């Protein structure tokens, strides 16, 4: 599962809204595990 949420981040003494992209995995017992986190200026930025 991949989701994003917006957080305020300080960049070069400016506060900007940035997307925090979170990748989660769910095992067969239903336990969630964070697979990765990436901060981006928008959800549509290509990696």
Full strand arrangement of the beta sheet holding 2-11: 2-11, 14-26, 32-40
Q: Name which of 18-22, 24-28, 34-38 the model is least confident about.
A: 18-22
Distance CA 8, CA 33 (A): 24
pLDDT bracket for residue 41 (50, 70, 90): confident
Which residue do the tokens 């979170």 mark?
A: 22
Average pLDDT, the chain: 88
Q: Name which of 3-12, 23-32, 36-45 the model is least confident about.
A: 36-45
**What is the reported pLDDT for 47?**
58
The stretch 14-37 carries a mean pLDDT of 94
Mapping DSSP to helix (H, G, I), strand (E, B) and coil, where does residue 12 land?
A: coil
């Amino acid at each position: 599962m991949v989701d994003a949420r917006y957080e305020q981040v300080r960049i070069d003494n400016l506060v900007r809204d940035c997307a925090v992209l979170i990748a989660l995995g769910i095992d067969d017992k239903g336990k969630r595990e964070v697979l990765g986190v990436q901060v981006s200026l928008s959800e549509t930025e290509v990696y």
